[in-house]
Amino acid sequence: MIVKLKIGIVGTGGIFRGAHAPLLANHPEIEIVAACDSDEAKAKKIAEQFSIPNVYTDYKELLRKHPELDFIDICTPNLYHSEIAVAALEAGMHVFCEKPDAINPVEAEKMAAAAEKSGKLLMTMRNNRFRPAVQFLKQYVEGGHAGEIYTGRCGWVRRRGIPGKGGWFTTKELSGGGPLIDLGVHFIDVAIWLMGNPRPVSVVGAAYTKFAESSISDSVHSGFGEKKDEGTFDVEDLATGFIRFDNGATLQVEFSWASNVETETNFVELRGTKAGFSFDKGELKLFSEIEGTLCDIVPKLKKDHHGHSDYLQHFIDCVQGRDMPIMQPIDGVHMIKLLSALYESARTGDEVKL
């Protein structure tokens, strides 16, 4: 017997339409009861497209009128993640939230505390964990094949790919920052997860804003968000950093929306005592030594992936009691503390201890 989960959507912009709706709107175990967006026309359009019966412009009204909901899916600008998540958890609902978890550690801690108190599930998007190569690497590392992973680097650099320039993406009050918080949460998470979740103890970071006046785009990702010609741009367009962990391991990071590089790329490269690997633009290579010979290995894996859908399905499985969460709210707290420390180091020019 199929148990239908009743859900409400808060935020009906591009990330819901492009990444959440493909699974949720057609899922046999999901009934979308209500959609909410501060832009009523946008919410009504989504409601009509996916036959959602109730439309709201205030999430508080949605929560009040639909206490029967099993979970809330949050796809709003970053500023509102914590506020909505806490309210939904306090109303007795599970919560799925787009990344990043929150815009600062205080708000992330509020979310984690509300989840613990309510006993409900809180998970934030970590879609790259479900890429076939990353799933393979997790098993490879945990099988001891890489040995001790002691250093690495990760990043996502674009030549020109500023999302929603002038809109909420480039407005620090709403976003919490630029590419470090927007893109960094993806691949820093993958790197630390593959390293066995060591805890950061200190960071050094730098941030730059050099392309706020540029209108050139060569990336599909610049289509995210809504541009505003006379809007705000008070975030970085490139950030770099160095992270030291409690086990002595280190990680270099670099994230940009705009910088003069050859081409856009995203990558995780980790080095172990038995093997290292590079996951660059979806291609995985292993570097090892076999019987005294240096060997490069290219595993045969699925190229296509639907990380957002796979992660949402994992959340549904957890709510239905078929699986255990791949991440915990405390992981989100640690991530936001790390990103905030990098921003603080960039601001002061000093190393920041965690």
What is the tens place of the pLDDT at every residue in 44-61? Answer: 999 999 999 999 999 999
Inside any domain, residue 242: yes
Domain limit, last residue, from 125, 154, 185: 125
Q: Please check the confidence at residue 222 and state whether its pLDDT lies above 90.
A: no
Q: Please check the confidence at residue 215 and state whether its pLDDT lies above 90.
A: no
Q: Please check the confidence at residue 133 and state whether its pLDDT lies above 70.
A: yes
What is the tens place of the pLDDT at every residue in 305-316? Answer: 788 999 999 999
Inside any domain, residue 192: yes
pTM for this predicted structure: 0.95
Q: Which domain holds residue 65?
A: 5-125
Inside any domain, residue 98: yes
Same domain, 41 and 160: no
Report the domain count for the chain.
2
Same domain, 162 and 300: yes
What's the whole-number mean pLDDT along residues 195-211? 97
Round the average pLDDT of the chain to a whole number and report it: 96
Inside any domain, residue 317: no
DSSP string of 254-287?
A: EEESB-S-SS-EEEEEEEESSEEEEEETTEEEEE
Q: Please check the confidence at residue 239 and state whether its pLDDT lies above 80.
A: yes
pLDDT greater at residue 217 or residue 61: 61
What is the tens place of the pLDDT at every residue in 37-46? Answer: 999 999 999 9
What's the whole-number mean pLDDT along residues 275-294? 95
Q: CA separation (Å) from 179 to 38, 63, 176, 251? A: 25, 32, 10, 17
Same domain, 181 and 100: no
Inside any domain, residue 328: no
Same domain, 222 and 267: yes
The predicted structure's pLDDT at residue 304: 66
Enumerate residues 6+ apart whose C-beta is below 8 A from 206. Answer: 239, 240, 241, 345, 346
Q: Please check the confidence at residue 106 and state whether its pLDDT lies above 70.
A: yes
What's the whole-number mean pLDDT along residues 122-142? 96
- Taking the alpha carbons at both ends of the chain, their separation in whole angstroms is 49
What is the DSSP secondary structure assignment for residue 349, as one 8-state letter? Answer: S
Same domain, 119 and 169: no
Share of the chain above pLDDT 70, in %: 99
Q: Please report which confidence band the pLDDT of residue 261 belongs to, taking 50, 70 and 90 as the band edges.
A: very high
Same domain, 164 and 305: yes
The predicted structure's pLDDT at residue 221: 84
Inside any domain, residue 323: no
* Lowest pLDDT segment from 138-142, 236-240, 305-309, 318-322: 305-309
What's the whole-number mean pLDDT along residues 71-97? 98
- CA separation for the pair 216, 229 (Å, rounded): 13
123 close to 96: Cβ distance less than 8 angstroms: yes
Domain limit, last residue, from 69, 92, 125: 125
CATH number of the domain within which 258 lies? 3.30.360.10
73 close to 24: Cβ distance less than 8 angstroms: yes
Cross-sheet strand order for the sheet of 54-56: 54-56, 30-36, 5-10, 71-74, 94-97, 122-124
Alpha helices (H) in 52-125, listed in sequence order: 59-65, 81-90, 105-118
Q: Please check the confidence at residue 1 and state whether its pLDDT lies above 90.
A: no
The predicted structure's pLDDT at residue 50: 95
Inside any domain, residue 61: yes
Q: Please check the confidence at residue 336 and state whether its pLDDT lies above 90.
A: yes
Same domain, 155 and 99: no
Same domain, 115 and 183: no
Q: Please report which confidence band the pLDDT of residue 226 belongs to, taking 50, 70 and 90 as the band edges.
A: confident
- CA separation for the pair 316, 107 (Å, rounded): 25
- CA separation for the pair 141, 148 (Å, rounded): 9
The closest of 144, 232, 253, 248 to 188, measured between CA atoms, is 253
The predicted structure's pLDDT at residue 229: 85
Domain limit, last residue, from 104, 125, 146: 125
